[in-house]
Homo-oligomer: A and B are copies of this chain.
Amino acid sequence: MSPSPSLSRIPFGAGGDDREVHDDTSSSRSDLGAGGGTAMRLVVPLQGVVQGRGGLVLGSVIPCALFYFFQLYLRRKKPSSSPPTSPSPSSGDLPSLSVIPRTTSRSFFSPRSGSLPAPVSSHTAAANKSDACRLSAGHRRFVDDPYHPTSNPDGVIQLGLGNNQLSLDLVRDWLERNVNASLLKGRNEDMGLGGRETYLQYDGLMDLKIAVADFMGQVLQGSVSFSPSQMVLTAGAASAIETLCFCLADPGHAILVPSPYDSEARAHIYWLDPLNINIRDDIKNVITNVFKGLAKERRTNFKKLKVTKLIPMYHGKEIGKNIHLIFDELLVGSVHEENNTCMNIAKILDAEDFDKSRVHMIYRLSEDISLPHIHVGVIYSLNDSILASAAKFTRFSSISVLSQRVLVTMLSDKRFISEFLHLSRARLINMHRLFARGFKGLNIDCVNGDGGFRCWVDLSKFLRSYSEKGELEMWEKLLDSAKVNTTPGSSCRCIEPGWFRLCFAALSENDIDVVMGRIRRAIDEGHKI
């Protein structure tokens, strides 16, 4: 391993396709080796065609590697309009499937699962196949038995999410003082609830766009200014990503995503069947090779690239004219260290000689203001054609006018926002320091992730086997005996086993000692085995 200086210690690489992460990643990983390098690390064992949501048709009905060759055969035959009906899961072949309880948020309320008398679409079959999600399983355990320092000290501690609760009190206080005013003292008699202003304008109120553009500029500390008219607002960042990709990509196009990435982001683009690239690789090489690889597979139509902010900016100029760049600036306002990579979008936007109609940005506003469940995402683009169509598609994902009114008032409250950003960053920095210090005490490496809420810890030396199987065993042990839910690196397509992603922003300071104590005990137990 020869880590590059700026990206050192972050576990890079592309794991197997996520859908078969419990099944056959050992084989896809063995193709790769575990180290990074400068050669391309493109792993496309099961990628299907990108068909917008339709990508599921081929891409998601196949639960394990057994169907790899079947899919190859199908793809040769061209995307057919009648995909194979979902095969029954052959759990005997999949040793680690039993590790993951097959639960979903849905089945929580509706546990019945009888036979299906009526045919459903392949999307439904695919979605219902993908239940074995660690994210859900661990979260379920937490919901059923949540840790509380006094009332439930033996409960599950949730470090597997990605939300910042450190500054909820600020938001709560503001809402308490202002929510009535923001809704009821709007400039319209009817509070904008039934008015002409909001009608047929699914992509967000102009007032909100102006406020968001201001806020984004403030978050980036004035290094770039954003225009409200280049903005489309959607009900959440997941929708922003999906809408933008839908506007950019056609069936047969590819979307490349550097790994490791947010396992939630993964779920967002899951339906789009992204290709996985190793962010340590030279992006120009990657693209050349992707073109070659796709041409081999008769996917000559490749023209899309989704990259996140970790791709060095200068690459943007080098890559082909047909390639779009999507900057996934989800949490730029919550970055708590000197991390200039977040400024890529600013640099790109400032560059004179770059074709700006190929640059797009996603911003998860609601996360940065500690209101994740208000679900507001931003598509920012300098391509008017993309903007215009994205605005139309927001018909399927428009933001509640209540949220919009509240946000307009909140973001326009400059004093509050400035104070909030200041305090929120200070709290994140503090928690991150305490968290890192705790792991240092355990002699465990803890490195900063790309978001401000999380870090990565390297537990590889405690694995029984240096493999994804070993990693999943560790994940299970942490959940079962230590009662700490984490995100195993494999679910973020990290190729080095043993990395776990932890969110420290949903804890309080006092919880850190509890977490460290539990992890220490779990590791000690492990040593006894």
Contacts and interface: CB of A to CB of B under 8 A. Distances in A.
Contacts of A91: none
A104 B176 CA distance: 37
A53 interface: yes
A66 interface: no
A54 B56 CA distance: 11
Contacts of A250: 57, 81-83, 121-123
A101 to B, nearest CB: 14
Interface string A142-158: 11001000000000001
A375 B393 contact: no
Interface string A80-117: 01110000000000000000000011110110111011
Nearest to A124: B389
Contact of A116 (B82, B197, B357, B397): B357
Given A124-B385, A236-B396, A303 B200 contact: no
Contact of A54 (B54, B146, B198, B238): B54
Interface stretch (A365-373, A416-424, A438-446): A365-373
A250 B84 CA distance: 12
A136 interface: yes
A62 to B, nearest CB: 16
B172 A119 contact: no
Interface stretch (A4-12, A28-36, A241-249, A283-291): A241-249
Interface string A374-405: 11100000011111110111011111111100
A81 B116 contact: no
A175 B168 contact: no
Contacts of A54: 51-54, 251
A371 B405 CA distance: 14
Interface string A20-64: 000000000000000000000000000001011110010000000
B200 A120 contact: no
A458 interface: no
A194 B388 contact: no
Contact of A396 (B124, B242, B399): B242
A181 to B, nearest CB: 10
Counting chain B CB atoms within 10 Å of each CB, the highest count among A168, A246, A392 belongs to A392
A140 to B, nearest CB: 9
Contacts of A143: 196-197
A303 B117 CA distance: 13
A206 interface: yes
B395 A402 contact: no
A384 B251 contact: no
Contacts of A203: 105-106
A383 to B, nearest CB: 7
B388 A402 contact: no
Contacts of A165: 190, 194
A158 B385 CA distance: 29
A512 interface: no
Interface stretch (A227-235, A459-467, A468-476): A227-235
B117 A357 contact: yes
Interface string A167-189: 01001100110011001100000
Contacts of A104: 388, 391-392
Given A239-B396, A252-B81, A402-B374, A124 B53 contact: no
Contacts of A120: 247-248, 383, 385-386, 389
A198 B236 CA distance: 14
A185 to B, nearest CB: 10
B385 A398 contact: no
A522 B513 CA distance: 78
A106 B391 contact: yes
B172 A106 contact: no
Interface of A: 49, 51-54, 57, 78-79, 81-83, 104-107, 109-110, 112-114, 116-128, 130, 135-136, 139, 142-143, 146, 158, 161, 163-165, 168, 171-172, 175-176, 179-180, 183-184, 190-194, 196-203, 206, 209, 228-230, 235-236, 238-239, 242, 246-253, 267-268, 301, 303, 321-322, 324, 355, 357-358, 370-376, 383-389, 391-393, 395-403, 406, 506
